[in-house]
Amino acid sequence: MERKYLELKERVLKANLRLAELGLVTLTWGNVSEIDRVQGVIAIKPSGVAYEDMKADDIVIVDLNGQVVEGHLKPSSDTPTHLELYKNFPHIGGVVHTHSTYATSFAQAKKAIMPYGTTHADSFFKEVPCSRELNKEEIQNDYEINTGKVIVETFKNRDYEFTPAVLVASHGPFAWGKNAQDAVNNALVLEKICQMNLLTDILNPGDNKISEVLEKKHHERKHGPHAYYGQKEN
């Protein structure tokens, strides 16, 4: 393996394997990528390769036009979607797509994930939106690119850093973060929140939305300008 991309490939392999360890993927239904903005490349899972068989050398390096720079396998079929997000969300460093059970169920129901409690507010500000459905032309022509475009469209009036995830209608969840591992963490939290919301609605079919003051408090103590959760970095 070429040393130039060795650490990037190893990070992306580790993040992809973690999806399987966390139970967020079944068979090969998911992928993680990470961008190196200095070198202008992303590393991404190869298409259709089983997680238990994957090695760092299998991770594919592509440029920002989707052309393979290094790798002996085809990159994920979702690569164009990842690239659209990297091009339009300049402060992200990693992207995850899964078909995890609860988040995909919300996507299939075309329902946004409403903020019901502090677990949601700790990671996502306001609702996690569900995109509109792609139209026939968008599906038949450049489907994966248009999936990325509809995500970007969904965040036209939203903060992609404060709400680092989306549901694509009838498809499934995408999440992002400062790097591949951070994106996986957000995908995990997203799945857990969907599970909690479903159970909450069963227990109480009424209005379960968190109060705005409590939502704001929990989000800002982790992500606001005066955040105090956790340890300070030296």
**Residue 193 within any structural domain of the chain:** yes
Residue from 45, 38, 54, 145 nearest 93 by CA: 38
Per residue of the chain (234 residues), what is the pLDDT tens digit?
Answer: 456 899 999 999 999 999 999 999 999 899 999 999 999 999 999 999 999 989 999 999 999 999 999 999 999 999 999 999 999 999 999 999 999 999 999 999 999 999 999 999 999 999 999 999 999 999 999 999 999 999 999 999 999 999 999 999 999 999 999 999 999 999 999 999 999 999 999 999 989 999 999 998 987 876 666 665 666 665
Helix (H) or strand (E) holding 185: helix 180-203
Decide if 122 is catalytic.
yes
Q: Fill in the DSSP letter of residue 158.
A: S
Decide if 229 is catalytic.
yes
Q: What is the model's pLDDT at position 187? A: 98
**Residue 81 within any structural domain of the chain:** yes
Q: What is the model's pLDDT at position 218? A: 84
Q: What is the model's pLDDT at position 224? A: 61
**Residue 12 within any structural domain of the chain:** yes
Which range of residues forms the domain containing residue 65?
3-223
Instruction: Answer whether 0.85 is exceeded by the pTM.
Output: yes
Q: What is the model's pLDDT at position 70? A: 94
**Residue 110 within any structural domain of the chain:** yes
Query: For the domain that residue 183 is a member of, what is the CATH number?
Result: 3.40.225.10
**Residue 231 within any structural domain of the chain:** no
- Which one of 63, 143, 201, 229 is the catalytic residue? 229
Could you give the angle at the alpha carbon of 139 between the alpha carbons of 137 and 143, nearest 5°? 120
Residue from 137, 121, 174 nearest 152 by CA: 174
Q: What is the model's pLDDT at position 228? A: 58
**Residue 210 within any structural domain of the chain:** yes
**Residue 234 within any structural domain of the chain:** no
Our count of domains for the chain comes to 1
Q: What is the model's pLDDT at position 139? A: 97
Q: In angstroms, what CA-CA distances link 125 with 44, 114, 122, 168?
A: 28, 10, 8, 18
- Which one of 122, 142, 182, 228 is the catalytic residue? 122
Residue 198, CA atoms < 13 Å, CB-side half-sphere:
15
Find out whether 182 and 91 touch, Cβ atoms under 8 Å: no
